[in-house]
Amino acid sequence: MTTNSYYGQEGHGPYELIDIGTLELEEGGLISNCQLAVVTHGTLNNEKNNAILVTTWYSGTSKIMEDVYIGSGRALDPDKYFIVVVNQIGGGLSTSPHNSDGALFPKVRIGDDVRAQHKLLTQIFGITSLVLVVGGSMGAQQTYEWAVRYPDMVQRAAPIAGTAKNTEHDFTYTETLVEAIITDPKFYNGAYVDSTEVAAGLKRHAKLWTVMGWSTEFFRQNRHVALGFESMQAFVDEFMTGYFAPMDPNNLICMAWKWQRGDVSRHTGGDLTAALGRITAKTYVMPISHDMFFPPTDCKVEQQLVPNSKLKIINSIDGHLALFGTDPDCQAQIDTMLKELLAI
């Protein structure tokens, strides 16, 4: 266990830590007293049928979901819905390497997150039906897992900028993200005392995210200037490195391992068609036009296997990291699409 002030109520709250008890893991082992960091918006009605689940992405927490996607008059409107945002295991706020076993933290899969969320919703809140499950990137992986694993519980699904089965491209690229960290001599096989000791590895990690997280068109059109940075170097140093530098390396590696192995076809012996065929939710598959991690072509292949689904492409040259809320038009498109989905 290490101390890291980045993960806490001051920067990411308010949230509640809810102990769901022992979570047995798909890779073997367990997490005793698994704590989920949970934020709710709105009121659960008497029938308990107005709940929406929002999942989180790599490095992101419930705070960015709250700031960018939730609000009165938005699709995710707390005046209409009871919105539950659950921080993924390993993300830093819920049970994670830095606040438990460090480098000895067990391997966690997307399915473990979803089973933990299911336990939370059904046993703690008494919710047995979800109006919508929505999430971006790794949150999309969780959304697909929900729709395949618990089809009778999910009325609508909106995987944004993510796939049901991770691609070999993303698996390989994520390896480079991990290698950027673990090749730092001060990583000490995950036994560092303070995450700031791994500053060089985290800086390389941030640069790799810069290259793939933003599209080539983002660079060509000098979008960094519109975001308030005089040079690309300032953007890398202040925005990207500034974002990743305070994070815990073991947390990032935990999430990366999980991301690499996201695959709903594990439920059907590797048959993706059969797995996605289980989905009964009204589904909008929502890739971002210039996303270099999860391009629309990859998402379309999966969407065509999902019954009652539509492909809704979000146009943004910001690419994958438009999820951060850097492009107001992107946010407006997502809102419009989700409102449309919620109306059917």
Q: Per the residue annotation, which of 59, 137, 289, 316 is the catalytic one?
A: 137
Residues 18, 40: one domain? yes
269 and 159, same domain (yes or no): yes
Q: Could you report the per-residue pLDDT of 137-173, keeping only the tens digit for each?
A: 999 999 999 999 999 999 999 999 999 999 999 999 9
3, pLDDT greater than 80:
no
Assess whether 32 and 147 both reside in one domain. Answer: yes
Residue 209 CB-density burial (10 A; 0-12 exposed, 13-18 middle, 19+ buried) = buried
When pLDDT is cut at 50, 70 and 90, the band that residue 210 belongs to is very high
Domain stop point among 255, 278, 310? 255
Residues 49 and 184 in one domain: no
Digit-coded pLDDT (tens) for 295-344: 999 999 999 999 999 999 999 999 999 999 999 999 999 999 999 999 99
Q: Tell me, yes or no, whether 147 and 220 share the same domain.
A: no
- Summarize the confidence of residues 281-285 as an average pLDDT: 98
Beta bridge partners of 17: 37
Q: Give the range of the structural domain holding residue 294, as residue numbers without chain letter.
A: 9-167+262-342
pLDDT tens across 11-59, in order? 999 999 999 999 999 999 999 999 999 999 999 999 999 999 999 999 9
Kindly state whether residue 122 falls inside one of the protein's structural domains: yes
Residue of 58, 63, 66 lying closest to 89 (CA atoms): 58
Whether residue 142 sits in one domain with residue 21: yes
The answer as to whether 3 is a domain residue is no
Q: Does pTM surpass 0.95?
A: yes
**131 and 180 assigned to the same domain:** no
Average pLDDT over residues 7-14: 96
Give a yes or no: residue 324 inside a domain.
yes
pLDDT of residue 246: 97
- Does 323 map to a domain? yes
Same domain, 221 and 295: no
291 as an active site residue: the answer is yes
Residue 69 is predicted with a pLDDT of 98
Three-state SS string across the chain, please? CCCCCCCCHHHHCCCEEEECCCEECCCCCEECCCEEEEEEECCCCCCCCCEEEEECCCCCCHHHHHHHHECCCCCECCCCCEEEEECCCCCCCCCCHHHCCHHHCCCCCHHHHHHHHHHHHHHHCCCCCECEEEEECHHHHHHHHHHHHCCCCECEEEEECCCCECCHHHHHHHHHHHHHHHCCHHHHHHCCCCHHHHHHHHHHHHHHHHHHHCCHHHHHCCHHHHCCCCCHHHHHHHHHHHHHCCCCHHHHHHHHHHHHCCEHHHHHCCCHHHHHCCCCCEEEEECECCCCCCCHHHHHHHHCCCCCEEECCECCCCHHHHHHCCCHHHHHHHHHHHHHHHCC
- Whether 223 is covered by a domain: the verdict is yes
Alpha carbon dihedral 172, 317, 325, 176, in 10-degree steps, equals 20
In a domain, 1, yes or no: no
Mean pLDDT computed over 204-221? 98
The reply to whether 32 and 149 lie within a common domain is yes
Are 153 and 33 part of one and the same domain?
yes
For the question of residue 290 being annotated catalytic, the response is no
Boundary of a domain, candidates 208, 231, 255: 255
CATH of the domain at 136: 3.40.50.1820
Output the pLDDT for position 224: 97
At position 46, the amino acid (one-letter code) is N
Give me the CATH number covering residue 234: 1.10.1740.110
Q: Could you give the CA distance from residue 299 to residue 159 in angstroms, rounded to a whole number? A: 10
- pLDDT bin (cut points 50, 70, 90) of residue 2 is confident
- Provide the pLDDT for residue 51: 98
From 112, 184, 248, 291, the catalytic residue: 291
What are the tens digits of pLDDT across the range 216-274?
A: 999 999 999 999 999 999 999 999 999 999 999 999 999 999 999 999 999 999 999 99
Nearest CA to 258 among 154, 152, 177, 155?
177
249 and 310 share a domain? no
Residue 197 lies in a domain: yes
Q: Are residues 77 and 155 in the same domain?
A: yes
pLDDT digits 0-9 by tens, 70-127 = 999 999 999 999 999 999 999 999 999 999 999 999 999 999 999 999 999 999 999 9
Has residue 2 been placed in a domain?
no
Bridge partners of residue 314, in order along the sequence: 288
Last residue of a domain, one of 221, 255, 289: 255
Tally the domains of the chain. Answer: 2
* 60, two tokens: 């992101």
Q: How far apart are CA 81 and CA 195, in angstroms?
A: 38
Our answer to whether residue 320 is catalytic in this structure is yes
Whether residue 8 has pLDDT greater than 90: yes
Q: Work out the burial of residue 171: count CB atoms within 10 Å of its CB; fewer than 13 is exposed, 13-18 middle, 19 or more buried.
A: middle
pLDDT at 320: 98
Q: Which of 41, 118, 290, 320 is catalytic?
A: 320
